[in-house]
Amino acid sequence: MSDTAIRLGTRRSKLAMAQSGLVARDLERISGRTVELVQITSEGDTNRASLASLGGTGVFATRLREALAAGECDLLVHSLKDLPVAPAPGLVIQATPARADARDIVITRDGTPLDAMPTGARVGTGSPRRIAQVLRANPGVETHDLRGNIDSRMGRVRDGELDAVVLAAAGIGRIDADGSTIGGLHAEHRDLVSWPTAAGQAALAIEARQDADPQLLAWIAELDDPVTRFAVTLERELLGAIEAGCHAPVGVHATVDDHEVRVRADVYGAEAASDVSEDVSVPLISLDALIEGYIQGRGSGEAVDRDGLIARAREIGSDLARRLLDNGAADIVTREAPTS
C-alpha cells in the first residue's frame, strides 16, 4: 500500500481515544507507518436516553461502521462488548488484542462493599445485566439509570447524588494509569464466577473492510491474540443463541487455562429464583495445534472465521446456550422479548 498515513476511526470519548491510541501505537510499530485517529460521533454519544431505549448493543458501532464502509477511515477500534454478534456485511473483525481485566468494579466514596450497603442506597448503572447483579448482591439498594463518560459517572458519587456506580475495570485501567481518575474513591472488584460480565468485555475489536489492502490486513492480524479470540468468540456465540432478538440480561465469561476453558453464564430473570446459570469446565484437546493453525490462517480477512480454533469456540458456546435454554432460559427470553 502507499506511504500515506493509516486512518483509524474511533469515537470521541476519553476511553475510546485512549484505547484507540494503544492500538495506533502498536500498529505504527508493526507497519512503520503513521496512524492518524479519525474522530467519529455516534448516536450513542449525542443521545442521552438510556442505552436500552436506544437499542442497546450496536448504538455506538453503527455510525463508525458506516464511516469505514464509505472509506472515511481504514480501520476501526471498538470495545467488543458494544458490537452486535451478527457480522457486518463487507467488514471483518481482523484482530482482538489480548484482553484486559474483564471484571466489573463498584465505585464508592467510603469503601462500603455492595453487599453491605444499607437499604435505599443509590447505585448507578444503565445495564440490565448489572441491575440484576446489583439486586442479587443486595436486594435493598435502589438502582438508577446512568449515562455519561467515566469522569461524570464517578462525579455523581463524589457529589453525593449516588452512593455507588458500577463500571468496567478495563475502562478505568485504560484511562487511569496514574490513579488520578479514581482519586479518593474506592473500587471493589466483583468476582467473575459470581458476577460474569458482558460477552467480550475488556476486549478490543479491530475491524476493517474485507477488501482492504492485504498488507494492512496482515499488519492488523499481528495484533491478534488467539486465546482472547477463542474466549470472546465462545461468549458471543452463546450470547447470540440466548438472545435470539430479545433483550434478556445475560452475563458470560470464559477463561482458558491449562488446556481447558471454564465458562460461567447467567441469564437473569425478573427475580433471583428464575435465574438460569451454567458453570462448566470443558477440556480443550490439542489446544496448541488449534492455536498454531489459527495463527497460520489468520493473514486473510476471512480465514480467522473458518479454522478449528474458532469452530471449537462456537461449538462450546452453542452447546452451553442450548443447555441454558433447556433449563429455563427460554422462558426468560420469551418474557423479555419486545412486543411489536
Distance CA 228, CA 209 (A): 21
Q: Same CATH fold, 104-189 and 6-100+199-336?
A: yes
pLDDT value at residue 234 = 98
Tens digits of residue pLDDT in 226-237: 999 999 999 999
Q: Which of 48-52, 160-164, 269-273, 321-325 has the lowest mean pLDDT?
A: 48-52
Mean pLDDT of 140-153: 92
pLDDT on residue 258? 82
| Spatial contact of 252 and 316, defined as CB atoms under 8 Å apart | no
In the chain, where are the structural domains located?
6-100+199-336, 104-189
The CATH code belonging to domain 104-189 is: 3.40.190.10
HSE, side-chain direction, 13 A CA sphere, residue 306: 9
Res 282: pLDDT: 97
pLDDT of residue 148: 85
CA distance between the termini of the chain: 48
Rounded to whole angstroms, what are the CA distances from 169 to 41, 113, 208?
24, 16, 27
Query: Do the beta carbons of residue 251 and residue 277 sit within 8 Å?
Result: no
pLDDT category of residue 340 using cuts at 50, 70 and 90: very low
Report the share of the chain in percent with pLDDT over 90. Answer: 76
Distance CA 264, CA 255 (A): 9
- pLDDT over 50 at 307, yes or no: yes
Looking at domain 6-100+199-336, its CATH architecture is: 3-Layer(aba) Sandwich (3.40)
pTM for the full predicted model? 0.90
**pLDDT above 70 for 313:** yes
Mean pLDDT for the stretch of residues 200-223: 97
Residue 246 has pLDDT above 70, yes or no: no
Q: Are 114 and 164 in contact (CB under 8 A)?
A: yes
Please say if the pLDDT value at position 133 is more than 60: yes
pLDDT, tens digit, for every residue of 15-34?
999 999 999 999 999 999 99
Q: What is the pLDDT of residues 87-124, one digit of tens each?
A: 899 999 999 999 999 999 999 999 999 999 999 999 99
Q: What is the mean pLDDT of residues 117-139?
A: 96
